[in-house]
Amino acid sequence: MRVLITGGAGFIGSHVVAALSAAGHEPVILDLRPPGRPAAAVAADVRDPAAVAGALRGVDAVCHQAAMVGLGTDFADAPAYVGTNDLGTAVLLSAMAAAGVRSLVLAGSMVVYGEGRYDCPRHGRVRPGPRTPADLERGRFEPPGPACGAPLVPGPVAEDAPADPRNVYAATKLAQEHLAAAWARATGGRAVSLRYHNVYGDGMPLDTPYAGVAALFRSALERGEPPRVFEDGGQRRDFVHVEDVAAANVLALASLADAPAGSLRAYNTGSGEPHTVGELARALASALGGPSPVVTGEFRLGDVRHITASSARLRAELGWRPRVSFAEGMTRFAVSAPL
């Protein structure tokens, strides 16, 4: 199968290209900074209709990885996020409709959920609202029960949880899914959204405002500085290795052959093994022999406290299993080369 990978020169996209090649597919890369062979490559912006139309010639399916990622710096980033993520997706889907390409794997994100799943000892399953600046400034990082203020117990979130994006990036990722669903209904296409949790691994970008926390911690350690851990370090996340994410893309692509026309199916893509941000910082510090992390108490508005995945649907329906453990992955990541 000839597959167009948007953002195929990026961190996740390059691993998807490698996994597709290994599975016998023919990758075509569309990226602002494309690599050379073995994959065919087009140097272009996904928002360029003519370039996208040209890249789709002879293509059977698309893995849409191109996006502006991360929480960003402040709301001034909003036009860039919306322009890259949502306009770019709209241009791609429009070109796919015209070209008759009816199979799409979308790089979704767990950020569409907002906070993860919580249970209250008095009221059962609850959905806490955004944490207030006043509480965060006082070091009250755990969201309280919305009705009684009682401490909550976090758990894994499933795909049927309501969407509740808490920042601009999250809003654009949800909009991408809505656009893909509208495209599928209008064209009879088939789409899968893989809602990535915290992806890390070889080729992760260096220290930038848009890099993941694992990359920021590693960059600090390579400078001989301690990782700076926000809040109290107790934030629970699901760290999933990029090789496992790439494998999920290959399986999702294969699943589209049997998917109902006009459908979009979402799958959480996470390891299923929650770890705290503090644990991540300590694991990297140990692997690199660097200084111990410093817990700063700082916070960013728009961050959520706990979000971890239930990937039961992906395991049951597509047969996916993560292969890289947290311990192995962090050891490998600590010494890997960045983009």
**Gyration radius of the chain's alpha carbons:** 20
Region of residue 289 (phi > 0: left; psi between -120 and 50: alpha; otherwise: beta): left
Q: Let me know how long the chain is.
A: 339
List the structure tokens of 93. 């889907």
* Three-state helix/strand/coil letters over 120-167: ECCCEEECCCCCCHHHHHCCCCCCCCCCCCCCCEEECECCCCCCCCCC
Q: What whole-number distance in Å separates Cα of residue 321 and Cα of residue 326?
A: 14
Candidates 169, 196, 200, 267; catalytic one? 169
Active site residue 169: yes
DSSP 3-state assignment of 309? strand
116 C-beta neighbours (distance < 10 Å), count: 23
**Residue 104: which of 186, 21, 49 has the closest Cα?**
186
Which amino acid is it at 104?
L
Q: What whole-number distance in Å separates Cα of residue 78 and Cα of residue 87?
A: 12
Q: What whole-number distance in Å separates Cα of residue 17 and Cα of residue 26?
A: 9
Residues 6+ apart with CB under 8 A from 321: 315
Q: What is the DSSP letter of 157?
A: B
Which amino acid is it at 317?
E
The burial of 260, by beta-carbon neighbours within 10 Å (0-12 exposed, 13-18 middle, 19 or more buried), is given as exposed
| Residue 34, phi then psi, degrees to nearest 5 | -75, 150
- Contact (CB, 8 A) for 184 and 174: no
Helix 11-22 and helix 242-255, axial crossing angle in degrees, nearest 10: 60
- Return the active site residues: 169
